[in-house]
Amino acid sequence: MENIFGLRRRDPRTPFDHVPFHDPGNPNISSVPAFLFWIGRSQWWIITTGTFFGVIAFSCLAIMPGFLGKGIQAISDHNQAGVNKWAFTIMCLGAIQALAGVMRHRRALGGWVVAATRLQQIITRKAASLGADLPRLVSTGEVVSVNSNDVERVARAFDLIPRLSGAIISFIFVSVILIRSSPTIGWLVVLGVPLMSLGIAPIIKPLQAREAYQRKKLSDASNLAADTVAGLRVLRGIGGEEAFIARFKSASQEVRAAAVRTARMRSFLEGLQVILPGALILGVIYIGGNLVVQGNLKIGALLSFYGYSAFLVLPLKVLTESAQRITSASVSARRVINLLSINTVNHWGTNESPDTGAIIKDGISGLTILPREFLAIVSDDPQLADELCDRLGGFVDADQVYLGQLPLTTFSRSSIRRAIYSQEKDPAILSGTIGSIFSVISSGRLSVDDAIQAASAQDILDSLEGEGMEAEVVERGRTLSGGQRQRLSLARTLFVDPPIMVLDDPTSAVDAHTEARIASRIFEIREGKTTVVFTNSPLILDKADRVVLLVNGASESEGSHTYLLETSQAYRDLVTWGA
């Protein structure tokens, strides 16, 4: 059941703002205002209650100068009863203001936490839905930057709503009091505050542009750092540390320069927040002092006017801060929307029944894969081989790959992921136990031990802390060698036991004796299922039912490993180089 806001009613047994959310919802990403409004509507209860307490807290502050003025006037008139009365009233008003302020602050922080959590869940869900397409479409550094810095900036905009609402309402309330008490001073204050806001407004647009530029430079530097960390071993291997340091220094200086430009504009804005209200207060004191001298205004009333004028500086600061927050939130919201707007390379269909026993054809390379065969592919161009591997896995140009008579894109994405399992050259290994690494959907035909034995990975378990499935692997398997990571990833892929398996150079980092064992075991364990292996290893090629040679990305010749060695010079050069 939904309420008048179009939101599902909450379970009365759980708090409305309980996080994390079971379902964070589907945001409106048609525009920045629509996106921000959707977030606000999703937590309307927090914003409404926060606004209520904000109005109470600011209203108490707003009327305090009037009561103080009356108390001062009572002292001036030697009215002890009046002094007692207004002192007690001020004390009660202060208690109410303190309680409302605490509750407003709690709800404001709640709005910030809830908005940030909702956005982080939505971004995480988007990243998970993109899956292996994610690194092909957006850099890791960009995702990290959006999911931390930009999410926080967007969420902080909802932190200020209770204060902003209270500031606006209290400003109107005090304006009415001032005009009714003394039109001259009242109109000076009422017109002066909006004019000060107009004086600040021209700075907001340049500040927004500078913040957007700063965010872009920070994202570029984050991307550079993330890419470098991922390829640190390669950098050290080729002696590229100095080149990276020079590039990163340059990127860091660009970030620093952009941050300084933004800070200059922000400091100018904050300076105006002091100068303009100060000028207004001086005007009030000057005019009010003359009215007191002329006998047209009592001293208590003047003190009240001074208090009201000083109070109105607070709404002005809140309005200025709101302008800055909204500016930052708008810039960050645009970056979040850009990330959420990313779609997969392929547009998938709805067919849920791929025929895994059908012939597979690639329209670009001319490759044909027969059902239930163990096919090895040798390519003269590693990059083109990687592209073919991605096509067969359904990651790019899947409309050029046919399963039977139908392109892969006519099937649903989930059904293709169940039918075809593609392992990249450098597959990801997340932190956790061995048991969590193997907590993937499998056919149930093989046990984890079967897969580990087939990948010759038993020694990896022995080298880790913990026993068996409880052995711990750190993030990205940093404590493992390249060969160990390859074998652990291969064991996970074999455990899945998909109908169609595509392996991209799965043994490039292992020694020859281990590779021979793996080649034999993979051939045995995959009997009766379609397996495609991209490799130049004679040990694996010799086990294959058929070998295809790709030249310039196109199928040139095929046959057994022995046959191609005898008939193709290009094949001999590729598989025996360095032997």
* 243-297 pLDDT tens trace: 767 777 888 888 888 888 888 877 877 777 677 777 777 777 777 677 767 777 6
How far apart CA 304 and CA 66 sit, in angstroms, is 5
Minimum mean pLDDT range among 103-112, 229-238, 552-561: 229-238
Give the residue with greater pLDDT, 476 vs 350: 350
So what's the pLDDT on residue 238?
A: 57
Q: Given this model, what pLDDT does residue 257 score?
A: 85
Coil, strand or helix at 343:
coil
The rounded distance, in Å, linking the Cα atoms of 557 and 552 is 12
Confidence check: pLDDT of 46 > 80: yes
Cα distance between residue 524 and residue 508, in whole Å = 20
Minimal CA–CA distance to 85: which of 71, 69, 64?
Answer: 71
Alpha-carbon span 274 to 259, nearest angstrom:
23
CA-closest candidate to residue 157, choices 203, 115, 94: 115
Where residue 367 falls (left for φ over 0; alpha for ψ -120 to 50; beta otherwise) is beta
Report how far residue 74's alpha carbon sits from residue 68's, in angstroms, rounded to the nearest whole number.
10
**Which of the listed ranges 37-41, 236-240, 327-331 does the model predict with the highest average pLDDT?**
37-41
pLDDT for res 200: 67
Spatial contact of 389 and 533, defined as CB atoms under 8 Å apart: no
- Asked if residue 8 has pLDDT above 50, the reply is no
> What's the DSSP call for residue 68?
H
Helix, strand, or coil (residue 369): strand
pLDDT value of residue 1: 39
DSSP output for 261-328: HHHHHHHHHHHHHHHHHHHHHHHHHHHHHHHHHTTSS-HHHHHHHHHHHHHHHHHHHHHHHHHHHHHH
Say how far apart CA 320 and CA 44 lie, in whole Å: 24
Q: Give the confidence band of 337 by pLDDT, cuts at 50, 70, 90.
A: very high
Whether residue 9 has pLDDT greater than 50: no
Q: Is the pLDDT of residue 227 over 70?
A: no
Does residue 236 carry a pLDDT above 70? no
Residue 43: strand, helix, or coil = coil
Q: Spell out the residues 6+ positions from residue 108 whose beta carbon is closer than 8 angstroms to its own.
A: 50, 54, 159, 160, 161, 162, 163
pLDDT tens for each residue of 113-138: 889 999 999 988 888 777 766 776 77
For 81-112, how does the pLDDT look when each residue is reduced to its tens digit (9 = 90+)? 888 888 888 888 889 989 998 998 888 888 88
Question: Which of 57-66, 235-244, 472-481, 512-521 has the highest mean predicted lDDT (pLDDT)?
Answer: 512-521
Q: Say yes or no to pLDDT of 197 above 70.
A: no
Contacts of 389 (CB under 8 A, 6+ apart): 422, 424, 502, 504, 534
Q: Which residue has the higher pLDDT, 232 or 329?
A: 329
CA–CA dist 152, 142 (Å, integer): 15
Q: How far apart are CA 368 and CA 403, in angstroms?
A: 10
Query: Cα–Cα–Cα angle for 460, 465, 467, nearest 5°?
Result: 80
DSSP per position, 519-536: HHHHHHHTTTSEEEEE--
Q: 471: phi > 0 → left, psi -120 to 50 → alpha, else beta; which?
A: beta
pLDDT value of position 141: 65
Please indicate whether residue 358 or residue 436 has the higher confidence score (pLDDT): 358
Rounded Cα distance, 316 and 329, in Å: 20
Non-local CB neighbours of 139 within 8 Å, separated by 6+ positions: 223, 226, 227
Q: Which of 157-161, 231-235, 342-346, 362-366 has the lowest mean pLDDT?
A: 231-235
Q: Where does the pLDDT of residue 476 fall: very low under 50, low under 70, confident under 90, or very high at 90 and above?
A: low
Band of residue 554 on the pLDDT scale cut at 50, 70, 90: very high
Mean pLDDT computed over every residue of the chain: 82
The whole-number pLDDT of residue 272 equals: 73
Does the pLDDT value for residue 12 go beyond 50?
no
Give tens-digit pLDDT for 407-442. 999 999 889 989 999 998 877 787 788 888 888 888
**Domains of the chain, CATH where assigned:** 32-340 (1.20.1560.10), 360-576 (3.40.50.300)
**What amino acid occupies position 327?**
T
Most confident of 160-164, 175-179, 236-240, 354-358: 354-358
Question: Mean of the pLDDT values across residues 496-511?
Answer: 92
Say whether pLDDT at 195 is over 50.
yes
Nearest to 416 by CA among 429, 398, 441, 400: 398
Give the model's pLDDT for residue 380.
Answer: 93
Dist CA 536 CA 61 (whole Å): 78
For residues 73 and 298, is the Cβ–Cβ distance under 8 A? yes
| Best CA proximity match to 139, nearest among 228, 29, 237, 248 | 228
The alpha-helical segments, DSSP class H, found in 182-240 are: 183-230, 232-238
Looking at the DSSP bridge assignments, the partners of residue 550 are 379, 555
Asked if residue 314 has pLDDT above 70, the reply is yes
What pLDDT was estimated at residue 578?
A: 42
CA angle 306/308/313 to nearest 5° reads 100
Least confident of 145-159, 178-192, 502-516: 178-192
pLDDT at 3: 43
Q: What share of the chain is helix, strand, coil (3-state, %, to 5)?
A: 65, 10, 25
> Is there a contact between 111 and 46 (Cβ–Cβ < 8 Å)?
yes
The model's confidence at residue 551, banded by pLDDT at 50, 70 and 90, is very high
